[in-house]
Amino acid sequence: MSTTERPRILVVGGGYVGLYAARRILKKMRYAEATVTVVDPRSYMTYQPFLPEAAAGSISPRHVVVPLRRVVRGAEVLTGRVTSIDQDRKVATVAPLVGEAYELPFDYLVIAMGAVSRTFPIPGLAEQGIGMKGVEEAIGLRNHVLEQLDKADSTTDEDVRRKALTFVFVGGGFAGAETIGEVEDMARDAAKYYTNVKREDMRFVLVDAADKILPEVGPELGRWGKEHLESRGIEIYLSTSMDSCVDGHVVLKNGLEVDSNTIVWTAGVKPNPALSRFGLPLGPRGHVDAQPTLQVTGTDYIWAAGDNAQVPDLASRKAGVENAWCPPNAQHALRQAKVLGDNVVSGMRGFPQKEYSHSNKGAVAGLGLHKGVAMIVMGKMKIKLKGRLAWYMHRGYHGLAVPTWNRKIRVVADWTLAMFLKREVVSLGAMETPREEFYEAAKPAPAPAVKTEDKAEQKAKAS
Ligand SMILES: Cc1cc2nc3c(=O)[nH]c(=O)nc-3n(C[C@H](O)[C@H](O)[C@H](O)COP(=O)(O)OP(=O)(O)OC[C@H]3O[C@@H](n4cnc5c(N)ncnc54)[C@H](O)[C@@H]3O)c2cc1C
C-alpha cells in the first residue's frame, strides 16, 4: 500500500461495479489528480453470467475472470477484505490475504461489494449445498457432477448409484435455470462415454418457492422455459421449498423425498452482510441506501451501486411505477458504474452530480447448447425469442459484454473450438486436494512391525 499526498479514492470491491467505476475514474481524471485504490479479496473480477457455461465446460473457467491488476492499470490493487469503515476519521480497515489488518485512509469512497447467496437455516444445507456465485463453485460443480457419473458407472450398489445420479437445484431464476440447463446438457453429452450410465438413469430436479421460473424474461417465456426443460426430462416442482437435506436426503415441502449427492443452491442473493459493520444507512433488506446520484444518503463523499445498493429506478418511476428500485443485475451494475465514476470525479472537483436513469433493455438466458430465451425491449415494444435464435442472442450479447477484448476473443475461441471438437468430459476432482498424492508419497514410512521372536529376545535381554 502506497502512502500518498494525493486524495485517495478507495473502491471497496473489484467486481462489476468496482472494475468499471475504477476504469471510468482513471479515464476521466487528470494525471496524478488522485490515487485510486481497489480492494478485493480476489485478484480478479468474475463475469457471473458466464458461470453456468463454465460449469458445463463450454467456456474455460479462466476466461470468465478478468485479472484486476491488468485491467485497472494505474490503480493500486490490494488483495484483501475491507472489514470496517470509520467515517469520522475517513479510514478503512483492510484485512490482507496474510498478516495483520491495517488502516487505509481515504478521501472518497465507493462501496461495490455486491451480494452473497441468500440462504435459510435449512438442516443440512451448509454441509451439502453448493452455490453459484464464484468461478471456484462453477469449477467445483463441473468436477463434482462428472465424478458422480464415474462413481455411478463403477459401483454395484444400486443405492449409491441412484444417489450419485440425482441432481437437485433449488431456485429457478436466471442462475438456477441456466445452471440446470447447462449442466443437464453436459451430463447428457458425457453419458455417451459411460457403459453403465444413460441419460434416463439420471434424475434432475428443479425446485422453486414461486409459481414460475425465469421471472426476468416475463411469464410467457418463463412458461416456455419450464416446458422446454421438462421436455428434456427435468422434473420441476413449483410453489414448494426444501425443508431439509441432511446427509443428502432431500425433503421438499410438497412431500417429495430424494437422495442426492448434489444440491445446488441458486435461490437468490442478498446484499453483502459485511455492510452492516460500516455504519452506512441501510434499507429494509440490508442494501446501502443510495440517491439517484448514487451518493450514499446523507453523504457527499461516499457512492454505492450494484447488488449491494438500493438505487431508485427513475425510469420506472417516471413510467408510473411507485417505489421502484433497480433490480440487482449486470445491466444496471455496468451503467451505474459509469455514472458513479463520472460523479466521483465531479465530486472531487466540486461540480454537480448526474442522476442515474436507465430503462430495462430486456434479458437473455441460455438453457444449454442451442437453447435459450430472450426478451428484447425496444421502446414500448417487447420482442420475445425462444430456442436457437434466442441462444444466439444470448451468446452475442454476453460475448460482447464480457470485459476486455482479451476475454471476448478467448470466449469466442472457446465457443468456436467447441463446434469442431468434442466437449471435455473429464473430472478433475483431485484438483481440490492437489497435494494429497505427494503427501502420501513423502510422509515418513511407518516403523516396521516388530516380529514376535524379536519381542521375546528383547524381553530376555531386558531381564
Ligand atoms: C450465476 C449468475 C448468473 C447471472 N446472470 C446474469 C445475466 O445473465 N444478466 C445480468 O444482467 N445479470 C446476471 N447476473 C447478476 C450480475 O452478475 C450481478 O448483478 C453483478 O455481478 C453485480 O455487480 P456488483 O459489482 O454489484 O457485484 P459483484 O460483481 O459480485 O462484485 C462484488 C465484489 O466485491 C468483492 N467483495 C466482497 N466482500 C468484500 C470486502 N469485504 N472487501 C472488499 N471486496 C469485497 C467480491 O469479491 C466481488 O469481487 C448473474 C449472477 C449470477 C450469480
- The domain tally of the chain equals 2
Instruction: Indicate whether 439 belongs to any domain.
Output: no
pLDDT of 442: 82
CB contact set of 38 (below 8 Å; sequence gap of 6+): 11, 13, 14, 18, 19, 22, 68, 72, 75, 76, 77, 78
Single-letter code of the amino acid located at 89: R
**Parallel, antiparallel, or unpaired for β 65-67 and 166-170?**
unpaired
Distance (Å, whole) CA 152 – CA 194 = 9
* Shortest-distance Cα residue to atom 45 of ligand 1: 13
Residue of 169, 278, 329, 331 to test ligand 1 pocket, by largest number of atoms within 8 Å of CB:
329
For 9-49, write each residue's pLDDT tens digit: 999 999 999 999 999 999 999 988 999 999 999 999 999 99
Distance (Å, whole) CA 226 – CA 236 = 8
Q: Does 225 lie in the same domain as 149? A: yes
Q: How far is the CA of 271 from the centre of ligand 1 (A)?
A: 10
Residue 136 belongs to domain with CATH number? 3.50.50.60
Q: Closest ligand 1 atom to the C-alpha of 51?
A: 1
CB contact set of 110 (below 8 Å; sequence gap of 6+): 9, 10, 11, 12, 17, 18, 21, 302, 303, 304, 305, 340, 344
Instruction: Indicate whether 404 belongs to any domain.
Output: no
CB contact set of 145 (below 8 Å; sequence gap of 6+): 167, 183, 186, 187, 262
pLDDT of 263: 97
For 308-338, write each residue's pLDDT tens digit: 999 999 999 998 899 999 999 999 999 999 9
Q: Does 207 lie in the same domain as 156? A: yes
pLDDT of 449 over the 80 cut: no
Question: Which whole number is the average pLDDT over 435-442?
Answer: 79
| Of 20-29, 280-289, 291-300, 450-459, the least confident | 450-459
What confidence tier does 450 reach under pLDDT thresholds 50, 70, 90? low
Distance (Å, whole) CA 80 – CA 95 = 5
pLDDT of 3: 62
Which one is predicted more confidently, 452 or 236? Answer: 236
pLDDT of 445: 78
Q: Does 336 lie in the same domain as 239? A: no
Ligand 1 cavity residues, CB under 6 Å: 12-18, 39-42, 48-49, 51-52, 81-82, 112-114, 132-133, 174-175, 272, 274, 306-308, 328-331, 333
For 341-366, write each residue's pLDDT tens digit: 999 999 999 999 999 999 888 899 99
Q: Does 139 lie in the same domain as 262? A: yes
pLDDT of 438: 78
* Shortest-distance Cα residue to atom 17 of ligand 1: 48
Question: Which whole number is the average pLDDT over 382-387?
Answer: 91
Instruction: Indicate whether 34 belongs to any domain.
Output: yes
Q: Closest ligand 1 atom to the C-alpha of 132?
A: 1
CB contact set of 428 (below 8 Å; sequence gap of 6+): 143
Q: Does 209 lie in the same domain as 99? A: no
CB contact set of 345 (below 8 Å; sequence gap of 6+): 25, 28, 29
pLDDT of 274: 94
Distance (Å, whole) CA 140 – CA 248 = 17
- Nearest of 243, 223, 185, 239 to residue 384 by alpha carbon: 223
**Domain of residue 38, residue span:** 8-116+270-349
Q: Closest ligand 1 atom to the C-alpha of 179?
A: 1
For 136-175, write each residue's pLDDT tens digit: 999 999 999 999 999 999 999 999 999 999 999 999 998 9
pLDDT of 11: 98
User: Where a domain ends, among 326, 349, 372?
Assistant: 349
Q: How far is the CA of 325 from the centre of ligand 1 (A)?
A: 17
Q: Does 286 lie in the same domain as 165? A: no
90 φψ region: left (φ > 0), alpha (ψ -120 to 50), beta (else):
left
Distance (Å, whole) CA 92 – CA 86 = 6
Q: How far is the CA of 15 from the centre of ligand 1 (A)?
A: 6
pLDDT of 188: 92
pLDDT of 382: 87
| Of 35-44, 46-55, 210-219, 430-439, the least confident | 430-439
pLDDT of 1: 62
Q: Does 159 lie in the same domain as 215? A: yes
**Parallel, antiparallel, or unpaired for β 76-86 and 91-96?**
antiparallel
Q: Does 250 lie in the same domain as 139? A: yes
Q: How far is the CA of 65 from the centre of ligand 1 (A)?
A: 12
Q: At what angle do helices 388-401 and 405-420 cross, to 10 degrees?
A: 150
Single-letter code of the amino acid located at 325: W
* Shortest-distance Cα residue to atom 3 of ligand 1: 49
Q: Closest ligand 1 atom to the C-alpha of 274?
A: 41
Q: How far is the CA of 154 from the centre of ligand 1 (A)?
A: 39
Mean pLDDT, the chain, integer:
92
* Shortest-distance Cα residue to atom 6 of ligand 1: 49
pLDDT of 440: 79
Q: Does 292 lie in the same domain as 254? A: no
pLDDT of 453 over the 70 cut: no
pLDDT of 454 over the 80 cut: no
For 254-289, write each residue's pLDDT tens digit: 999 999 999 999 998 999 999 999 999 999 999 999
pLDDT of 377: 87
Q: How far is the CA of 422 from the centre of ligand 1 (A)?
A: 31
User: Where a domain ends, among 234, 267, 300?
Assistant: 267
Q: Does 309 lie in the same domain as 263? A: no
Q: Closest ligand 1 atom to the C-alpha of 17?
A: 25
Q: Does 43 lie in the same domain as 75? A: yes
SS3 content of the chain, % helix, strand, coil (to 5): 40, 25, 35
Q: How far is the CA of 122 from the centre of ligand 1 (A)?
A: 24
Helix (H) or strand (E) holding 223: helix 218-231
Q: Closest ligand 1 atom to the C-alpha of 114?
A: 27
Instruction: Indicate whether 248 belongs to any domain.
Output: yes
What confidence tier does 451 reach under pLDDT thresholds 50, 70, 90? low
Q: How far is the CA of 338 from the centre of ligand 1 (A)?
A: 16
For 66-124, write each residue's pLDDT tens digit: 999 999 999 999 999 999 999 999 999 999 999 999 999 999 999 999 999 998 999 99
* Shortest-distance Cα residue to atom 27 of ligand 1: 114
Q: Does 111 lie in the same domain as 182? A: no
Instruction: Indicate whether 92 belongs to any domain.
Output: yes
Distance (Å, whole) CA 275 – CA 281 = 10
Question: Which whole number is the average pLDDT over 179-198?
Answer: 94
pLDDT of 55: 94
Instruction: Indicate whether 240 belongs to any domain.
Output: yes
Instruction: Indicate whether 169 belongs to any domain.
Output: yes
Say if residues 129 and 264 touch (Cβ distance below 8 Å): yes
User: Where a domain ends, among 305, 334, 349?
Assistant: 349
User: In sequence order, which ranges of 350-462 are alpha helices (DSSP H)?
Assistant: 388-401, 405-420, 436-442, 452-462
Distance (Å, whole) CA 48 – CA 29 = 29
Instruction: Indicate whether 241 belongs to any domain.
Output: yes
Q: How far is the CA of 188 from the centre of ligand 1 (A)?
A: 29
The distance of Cα 78 from the centroid of its chain, to the nearest Å, equals: 21
CB contact set of 295 (below 8 Å; sequence gap of 6+): 302, 303, 343, 347, 353
Q: How far is the CA of 190 from the centre of ligand 1 (A)?
A: 30
User: In sequence order, which ranges of 253-329 are alpha helices (DSSP H)?
Assistant: 314-318
Enter the C-alpha cell of residue 6. Answer: 494525493
